[in-house]
Chains A and B, each alone.
Chain A
Amino acid sequence: MSLLSVENLTIGLPSGGDRANAIENVTLQINPGEIVCVVGESGSGKSMTANATMGLLPPGLPVRSGRIMFEGIDLLTQSPEQLRRLRGARLAMIFQEPMTALNPLMRVGDQISEALRMHGDTSAATRVPELLAAVNLPDPKNLARAYPFRLSGGQRQRVMIAMALALEPSLLIADEPTTALDVTTQMQILRLIREIQTRRHTGVLFITHDFGVVAEIADRVAVMQHGRIVETGTAAEVLNNPQHPYTQALIAAVPRGIARATGPTQPGEPVLRMKGVVKTYRRGGGLFAKGTSFQAVHDADFVLHRGETLGIVGESGSGKSTLARCVVGLVTPERGEIKFNGSELRALSATAWKPFRRHIQMVFQDPYASLNPRRSVGDAIAEGPILHGTSRAKALDRARDLLRLVQLDAGAMDRFPHEFSGGQRQRIGLARALAMEPELLIADEPVSALDVSVQAQVLGLLADIRKRLGLTMLFITHDLRVAAEICDRVAVMQRGAIVEQGETGSVFNAPNHTYTQALLDSIPGRHWTPPESA
């Protein structure tokens, strides 16, 4: 008998939504000791399925039909009190955001023992250190007395897992548990879930959007689109021989992680040269106390040649975004040289910077925050050229051309950013940067907030435009697969320093630095090569 069996579950949306039902006729089985991945893009209803199982549906969403059978009982007909007994003890959940899933005012040990006491287990004092040790946290005794803010994201996620596993549930629901984590941490957490699951024979319902993660962890896979399951099968079947066109499209959009042939073989003259740049951030301190300081960037020398794309790769906090912001003057480093075509950019006044603004432009990470919500798309794109003395009519004409270049309709001119999807907004951001006809384009994680199929489109567009306009590009990313896709050379950053740089192919195939090696080993699904689809 299967552990969890979701049968023909349909959950409605309030009228006026973009579709009638959040999920429709979802049928899903999980056996003991099995990891089932539910994959889909944002809005596909995958989290809704998990929340329904856990009894965490937001109010106002009616269950139209179906059953959720767990160990022989229908979860949908249980009273709140009956559900409470089951939750935590028999089924447990880990959430996406470890930063907000723990109570910040409670020691982590107390939070775990609370979960135990809630279900009548009185052995908390001995069990808590055991549990923390079981999720491979160092020094469990002391760690139990720490408050959540002292722990890193990965450590918090481990605490969440320890809490979820405290009562040895038979079903664990994991809703994108590694999405907010760095790639090396993600790999550790995935291994941990795998290991604990094998040891305790737990069934796992694992929600993710990343096929790499699926390849890493799944026994069986269900692919969701618009609230329906379009394909199910064993991991090997779905990954290597997808049947449904949507699954095929999703898998085709996964960046390969294989370095493509490098672009310009003859490096042009240097466009940008960074030498000895140091940026220090100070925190705290006041009249009497000295604050702490932290070097966000040091030892990050590189040269960018005309027409090439240099990828800066690193985990969060490695200083890669600070480095990019130094180049465009949003951040002023204390020391070092930033030479653009031979002119020093560091410590220029705003007026002296202005002529360079034409030549250096930036595309930002968050498509929802990088456009002024109160300005029409046409105005946003035309604004830069107008500031630099182009006539309004001419700038608007050019904006129309640019929208076409980034594959948007010219009718978008008079509309406002909130009317567009994330991928479309990112194209508008790109058009805004291109309106200045820059020589050097800095792209700060331009695709990390996008779904994988949209990500592939935007990357394709970037590569195409770069070739057509002969742009030089500095591409910041945390995702090595993306870097491999688009960069001629990569520089790997760790704690503010570039530890390795070289041709993409040689760095990926023969990394010299141990950190690069660790990053490459942590790419989820590295052993899986997506099938070449038609």
Chain B
Amino acid sequence: MNFARRFCRHPGAVIGLVVLILVIAMALLAPILFPGSPWDMAGAPFEPPGEDGMLLGTDSLGRDVAAGIAYGARVSLLVGAVSTVVSLFIGVALGAIAGYLGGLVDDLVMRFTEFFQTIPSFVLAILLVAIFTPSISSIIAAIAVVSWPPVARVVRAEFMSLRSREFVQAAQVLGKRPLGIVLTDILPNALSPIIVLASLMTASAILLESSLSFLGLGDPNLMSWGFLIGSGRSVIRLAWWMSVFPGLAIFATVLALNLVGEGLSDALNPRLRKRGAKP
């Protein structure tokens, strides 16, 4: 309908969406495309791309890089999606409480949020993963913990402006409970910036996860893009393909998510549509 048409007006957003769908398909189809574990040897080590039936070559232990990328997509997308959901949950809850109640509660919540914002998020994430031993759940938790503050700020600002609107006052006069007002009157009207933010957060979560596994703090049982780059790093002059292809995968996915986010932002806020979009 209208929303879809506005979204499609952005060529970039449409391309981003297509790339994203391809990455998701690759993640879902990984066991069919590459039967067997990505950790198993599939050919001779240091095989360049295209030789010996290896589409993207093999790494220093003879593992298939293409299989690694396909399985790595599962980890990246999973971490991106789940950590975003968790941090949305924390951020929306805190932002809603601060914005709706205001006053002292707002002050307390915001100081708490600033406490997290003053610590460099990547350092905090490393610290958390190192303390709780690297595993997929500790990585997701660490990323969620460092990425909720912007959500809380955006949600708080939206709630502050919406809560003084007359339709919220009308709901109060009807005798509606605060929780009902927050969930059915304010939140649905604050949804569009949250959706846009979520798509951008997924992108940065994928980057964070890759950086963590590049440093060797990934889940040791799961193949991931950051791990592939990290393990190929020492031989990058001999075998560029080991680092470059997973790097391209990260680049394409993050760029796609950002393009989709921008398209969503313009499609959800028709009044701000001017920049970028053709009439």
Contact = CB atoms under 8 A, between A and B. Distances in A.
Chain B associates with chain A: yes
Sort A-B residue pairs by CB-CB distance and give the 10 closest, nearest first.
A357-B175, A370-B166, A384-B174, A364-B166, A369-B166, A372-B167, A374-B188, A354-B175, A362-B173, A328-B173
A372 B189 contact: yes
Given A350-B178, A354-B175, A370-B169, 20 more contacts: A329-B172, A330-B169, A330-B173, A350-B177, A357-B173, A357-B175, A361-B173, A364-B169, A370-B167, A372-B167, A372-B185, A372-B188, A372-B189, A374-B188, A375-B185, A383-B171, A383-B174, A384-B175, A387-B180, A432-B170
Contacts of A222: none
Contact-size category for A: 20 to 34
Contacts of B189: 372-374
Contacts of A370: 165-167, 169-170
B111 interface: no
Nearest to B172: A330
B167 A357 contact: no
A364 B168 CA distance: 11
A106 B169 CA distance: 37
Contacts of B165: 369-370
Contacts of A432: 170, 174
A388 B185 contact: no
Interface in A373-388: 373-375, 383-384, 387-388
Interface string A424-435: 000001001000
B274 to A, nearest CB: 12
A365 interface: yes
A436 interface: yes
A371 interface: yes
A364 B170 CA distance: 8
A248 B149 CA distance: 60
Contacts of B170: 362, 364, 370-371, 429, 432
| Residue from B165, B172, B174 whose CB has the most chain A CB atoms within 10 Å | B174
Contact of B174 (A364, A375, A387): A387
| Residue from A362, A429, A436 whose CB has the most chain B CB atoms within 10 Å | A362
Nearest to B174: A384
A436 to B, nearest CB: 7
B162 to A, nearest CB: 10
Interface in B174-195: 174-178, 180, 184-185, 188-189
A149 interface: no
A360 B165 CA distance: 20
A383 B180 CA distance: 11
A160 to B, nearest CB: 28
Given A372-B189, A373-B189, A374-B188, A436 B174 contact: yes
A82 B189 CA distance: 48
A375 B167 CA distance: 11
A387 B171 CA distance: 10
A500 interface: no
B140 to A, nearest CB: 31
Contacts of B185: 372, 375
Interface string A319-357: 000000100111000000000000000000010011001
A366 interface: yes
Contacts of B178: 350
Interface in A298-337: 325, 328-330
Nearest to B180: A387
B268 to A, nearest CB: 12
Contact of B175 (A353, A364, A372, A429): A353
Contacts of A358: 175
B166 A365 contact: yes
A360 B185 CA distance: 21
Contacts of A360: 173
A361 B185 CA distance: 18
Nearest to A435: B174
Contacts of B166: 364-366, 369-370
A384 B171 CA distance: 8
Nearest to B186: A372
Nearest to A353: B175
A387 B175 contact: yes
Interface in B74-97: none
Contacts of B167: 369-373
B105 to A, nearest CB: 16
A329 B175 CA distance: 10
Contacts of A372: 167, 171, 185, 188-189
A369 B176 CA distance: 18
Contacts of A350: 177-178
Nearest to A432: B170
B186 to A, nearest CB: 9
8 contacts: A325-B169, A328-B173, A330-B169, A330-B172, A365-B166, A374-B188, A383-B174, A387-B180
Contacts of A354: 175
A357 to B, nearest CB: 3
A366 to B, nearest CB: 6
A372 B187 CA distance: 11
A354 B177 CA distance: 10
Interface string B150-175: 00000000000000011101111111
Interface string B182-225: 00110011000000000000000000000000000000000000
Interface in A113-128: none
Contacts of B180: 387
Contacts of A325: 169
| Residue from A358, A360, A366, A372 whose CB has the most chain B CB atoms within 10 Å | A372
